[in-house]
Amino acid sequence: MRRLPGPSLRQYRAAAVATVCALALVACGKKAGDQAGAKSQIVAHVGNEVVTIQELENEFRWENVPVGKQNDPESIRKVLNDLVVRKYLLQQAIDAKLDREPGVLLDMLRSREQVLANAVMSRAVASKPPGKADVDDFIARNPLKFAGRKLLSVEQVGFPLGPNSQAIIDASRTAHSLDEVERQLASAGIVHARQAGVLNSGELPQDVAVAMLGKSAGDLFFIRSGANGVIFQIKAEEPRPLEGEAASDLARQLLRADALKAEAGVAAMSAKLDAKFDGEYARIMGGASASAEPGR
Do residues 194 and 155 make contact, with C-beta atoms less than 8 angstroms apart? yes
Looking at the fold, whether 285 and 158 belong to one and the same domain comes out as no
Residue 2 in domain: no
Looking at the fold, whether 112 and 132 belong to one and the same domain comes out as no
Note if the pTM is more than 0.75. Answer: no
Looking at the fold, whether 135 and 228 belong to one and the same domain comes out as no
The rounded average pLDDT for each run of 10 residues, N- to C-terminus, in the chain (296 residues) is 45 47 43 48 92 94 91 93 95 95 96 96 95 96 93 93 85 88 90 93 84 79 89 92 95 96 95 91 70 41
Looking at the fold, whether 192 and 284 belong to one and the same domain comes out as no
Give the CATH number, domain containing residue 180. Answer: 3.10.50
Distance in angstroms (rounded) separating the CA atoms of residues 254 and 119: 18
Looking at the fold, whether 162 and 231 belong to one and the same domain comes out as yes
Looking at the fold, whether 161 and 94 belong to one and the same domain comes out as no
Distance in angstroms (rounded) separating the CA atoms of residues 258 and 266: 13
**Confidence (pLDDT) at 157:** 94
**Confidence (pLDDT) at 173:** 81
**Confidence (pLDDT) at 7:** 47
Looking at the fold, whether 103 and 181 belong to one and the same domain comes out as no
Do residues 138 and 251 make contact, with C-beta atoms less than 8 angstroms apart? yes
Looking at the fold, whether 100 and 57 belong to one and the same domain comes out as yes
Per the structure, the count of domains in the chain is 3
**Confidence (pLDDT) at 29:** 43
Residue 105 in domain: yes
**Nearest-CA neighbor of 104 among 90, 84, 88?**
90
Do residues 188 and 168 make contact, with C-beta atoms less than 8 angstroms apart? yes
* Domain span including residue 21: 9-120
Distance in angstroms (rounded) separating the CA atoms of residues 84 and 60: 14
Instruction: Give me the numbers of helices (H) and strands (E) for the chain, helices first please.
Output: 11, 6
